[in-house]
Amino acid sequence: MKILNCPLNGPRNISEFVWGGEMKAMPDPATATDAQWTEYLFLEDNTAGEITEWWLHAPTNYWFIARRNTITDEILETMTYDAFLARQQANASGEAEPAAKPATGGTETGATSA
Amino acid sequence: MPFALLKYALSREHPDDPHFRWKPDLKKTYDVIIIGAGGHGLAAAYHLAKDHGITNIAVLEKGWLAGGNTARNTTIVRANYLTPEGVAFYKESVELFRTLSNELDINVMYSERGHFTLAHTDAAMRTARWRAEVNKHMGVNSEVIDAAEVKRICPTMNVTDEARYPVLGALYHPPGAIARHDAVAWGYAKEAMKRGVEVHTQTEVKKILIENGRAIGVETNRGVIHAAKVMQAVAGSSSHVARMAGLKLPIKTIPLQACVSEPVKPILDQIVVSGSLHVYISQSARGEMVMGGATDAYGLYSSRSTLDFKESLMGHMLELFPFMGELRILRQWAGMADMTPDFSPVMGLTPVENYYIDAGWGTWGFKATPVCGKRMAECVATGRQPDLLKPFALSRFNTFDLVGEKGAASVGH
Ligand SMILES: Cc1cc2nc3c(=O)[nH]c(=O)nc-3n(C[C@H](O)[C@H](O)[C@H](O)COP(=O)(O)OP(=O)(O)OC[C@H]3O[C@@H](n4cnc5c(N)ncnc54)[C@H](O)[C@@H]3O)c2cc1C
């Protein structure tokens, strides 16, 4: 079975996880227009290639972030949401890190099974 | 038909025309370009030619004729959906399927078997009751039956309470059918080509040409072609092609896997689906057990098969049909399903003028091939959204007016 590396629980069978879909920025519900809300709720990039996505480890109800290639089905890395935010901030302020390196410890590249 | 047979019998040569009248060269302009030569694109071309007299059509296909999800599906045809909009739409398709062999002059082996949606929980029984009432109201033959009646109709099924999830009852839909999927697509292709429609395989659309908010043609690996109208019917590639027209769709592409056993003598008449166990099965005319389940757990552009799929499928299958323990798997495969959030398709007009969409067919679009072809042709020919397609317009997501069919479409296909 394919293995996903949960930042909280370590490597686990992928059947323990629920896919949350490609990451999207949520517009402010108080000010968003109907069109923006429609886009957030329903419309998808549906990217063929590398994506950043949400996963839930169901037994512990723990949400985290993975990068995965949707053509080869390779899980490139997994990380906590905090680590993801920290990396985004670092990228925004110009001190870009090498993309393949996870931002915090214990979240090495998720392994794939044969 | 009988005359054709007589001609065959008396002739020394093969008196039939070749099935497909291929034209090797692309023209510079057409009245209509259809992207995707699956069942849906071909059926639309056929109806444009036959019902609307539009024959200057090119159907462009990046691979080979109907090699996408049309070639991969498990061919369940039924009308026992949940919403009145859905039932009305699929009902018309079932009616068209019944006469399709005559219409296309090819044997599509349409075989009405009866279709069970098994219920193993009270909640599933409630959904079955709901569907039966909507179906009957719309003139579709469906009823809720108990486990004893299930056993009487389908004696090979294990309905004892020794199973992990015993069968409590079922939604029974006698008209539920299977058909020969390739013949459906080939029939539409053959009859469309006979009327002048061109089908070009190995022709991939790379760009959609848009001028002042109107589609005016496409760019392919074989050059630029212009057209007054362009329609896409590309299933798993829907988001990719729509993006070329500047459209973002409510679609995730998720694999759906299936497999067949080695062929055996007829032992299972009906089509059996369990939404709770995520499995379904029917026996093909060749004797193979055709089996599948729900889509994979996450999105992917790949048609690989997994062991997890077969393990979870077989565990439940063995409880429902213990004799299956004797059978070996012969083939396995997958297709890329274009899944919408409400488990209903997206059909008709788009914000781009002269650009029409047929997408979001997910795991349930084979049964809709005839009605979709007929109504999409009407839409393209008239430039108006036909009444039957109104609930399924792309714009329903802007008005939060979804057509929730998950209760009838998630495993039943
Ligand atoms: C395993 C499986 C089981 C299923 N079981 C059922 C079932 O029991 N009942 C049911 O009703 N439905 C079922 N379905 C769903 C059904 O198969 C599809 O909804 C239906 O076949 C879609 O038909 P189509 O013509 O739209 O798409 P397709 O047959 O996929 O045709 C689309 C074509 O577009 C081509 N294309 C894509 N991009 C381009 C491009 N850029 N340029 C040119 N051509 C392009 C592709 O090569 C493809 O041939 C199943 C699907 C799968 C995968």
**Closest residue, chain A, to B341 (C-alpha):** A42
**Confidence at residue A114, expressed as pLDDT on a 0 to 100 scale:** 34
| Record: contact A42-B253, CB cut-off 8 A | no
Distance, CA of B48 to CA of B376 (rounded, Å): 9
CA distances from B92 to B79, B140, B271, B297 (A): 8, 10, 20, 32
In total, the C-beta contacts within 8 angstroms joining chain A to chain B are 60
- pLDDT category of residue A112 using cuts at 50, 70 and 90: very low
Distance, CA of B124 to CA of B276 (rounded, Å): 8
**Confidence at residue A102, expressed as pLDDT on a 0 to 100 scale:** 42
**Confidence at residue A90, expressed as pLDDT on a 0 to 100 scale:** 94
Closest chain A C-alpha to B396 CA, distance in angstroms: 10
The tokens 């479409």 sit on which residue?
B409
Contact B402, B73 (CB under 8 A): no
How many CA atoms are closer than 13 Å to the CA of B15, on its beta-carbon side?
10
Name the amino acid, one letter, at B129: R
What residues of B are in contact with residue A41 (Cβ under 8 Å)? 341, 397
Distance, CA of B193 to CA of B199 (rounded, Å): 7
Spatial neighbors of B6 by CB under 8 A, at least 6 apart, are none
The alpha carbon of B291 is separated from its chain's Cα centroid by a whole number of angstroms, namely 16
Distance, CA of A21 to CA of A15 (rounded, Å): 16
Dihedral sign (CA B244, B250, B252, B256): negative
How many CA atoms are closer than 13 Å to the CA of B145, on its beta-carbon side?
21
Q: For residue range A45-104, what is the model confidence (pLDDT) as tens digits? A: 999 999 999 999 999 999 999 999 999 999 999 999 999 999 999 998 876 554 444 444
Select from A18, A19, A43 the Cβ nearest to the Cβ of B249. Answer: A43
Q: For residue B74, give the 3-state DSSP assignment.
A: coil
One DSSP character per residue, B126-180 reads: HHHHHHHHHHHHTT---EEEEHHHHHHH-TTS--STTSSS---EEEEETT-EE--
Which ipTM did the prediction report? 0.91
What residues of A are in contact with residue B249 (Cβ under 8 Å)? 43-44, 46
Select from A2, A42, A71 the Cβ nearest to the Cβ of B250. Answer: A42
What residues of B are in contact with residue A67 (Cβ under 8 Å)? none
pLDDT of A108 over the 50 cut: no
Q: Does A35 touch chain B (CB under 8 A)?
A: yes
Distance, CA of B48 to CA of B379 (rounded, Å): 10
Ordered structural domains, chain B, with CATH: 27-110+177-251+342-413 (3.50.50.60), 111-176+262-339 (3.30.9.10)
Q: Which residues of chain B have pLDDT under 70?
A: 1, 15
What are the boundaries of each domain within chain A? 2-113
Angle at B312 between CA B308 and CA B318, to 5 degrees: 140
Beta bridge partners of B253: B338
Distance, CA of B119 to CA of B168 (rounded, Å): 6
Q: What does pTM read for this prediction?
A: 0.94
Q: Does domain A2-113 have CATH number 3.30.2270.10?
A: yes
Q: Does A8 touch chain B (CB under 8 A)?
A: no
Output the ligand 1 site: residues, CB below 6 A: B 35-41, 60-63, 66-70, 72-76, 204-205, 233-235, 237, 241, 256, 258, 292, 335, 337, 361, 363-367, 413
